[in-house]
Copies of this chain bind each other. A is one copy, B any other.
Amino acid sequence: MRVAVPLDKAYRLINHGPVTLVSAAAGTVRNVMAAAWAMPLDFDPPRIAVVVGAGEHTRHLIDASRELVVQVPPRALAAQTDGVGSCTGRDTDKWSKFGLSWTAGSLVQAPLVDGCVAWLECRLLDEPRMEAHYDLLVAEVVAAWAEDAVFAVDGRSVRLRDDVPPELRAIHHVAGGAYVADGEVFSVR
């Protein structure tokens, strides 16, 4: 079940550095791509940084709408994640090609990819130099959601569960279609 996450804890959904899917929409056009280079920038206000190449179709949709969703695909979506990261949506409907569906965002027009385990609805902040120079987008998180089989959300507490089934675990991109899956959760305090 998808549950709301307190905004100042939204960083925890991507703090462990998983590969993400970035989705965006402009008008009736929606696209999704993979992005390994995404990370939190601040807790409160919640901000993230993500690299989306200037030539990407998704980037054009983000530039047009100033909105995006950054979401965490589980291992069950590994092949689709690699697939949407390896072709362009300019001439392909990735949704039908990879059997992906989406749900409307609550505050942004960018779609939430179904089957993911965490979603950050974001609005772009104006950092034209970083966008132009590094393809680095800085965005504010305006709504956040988590799959409660993966993240335990209890009031102000949000934590990655230690008993997540293998197919729901986050994956981390190494390179060229190789990924490493989340292993054991442990605490050192």
Contact = CB atoms under 8 A, between A and B. Distances in A.
Interface of A: 12, 15-19, 36-42, 47, 49, 51, 78-79, 81-82, 127, 129-130, 134, 136, 138, 158-160, 169-170, 172-189
Given A36-B17, A183-B180, A159 B172 contact: no
Nearest to A174: B160
A16 to B, nearest CB: 4
A187 B173 CA distance: 10
Given A134-B138, A180-B184, A36 B15 contact: yes
Contacts of A176: 189
Nearest to A189: B177
9 contacts: A16-B36, A16-B174, A17-B172, A39-B49, A40-B51, A172-B182, A178-B185, A178-B186, A179-B186
A92 to B, nearest CB: 18
Contact of A82 (B49, B138, B175, B189): B189
Contacts of A174: 12, 15-16, 159-160, 185
A177 B159 CA distance: 11
A185 B189 contact: no
Given A37-B39, A134-B138, A188 B15 contact: no
B184 A188 contact: no
Contacts of A183: 169, 180-184
A177 B174 CA distance: 24
A164 B81 CA distance: 24
Nearest to A164: B180
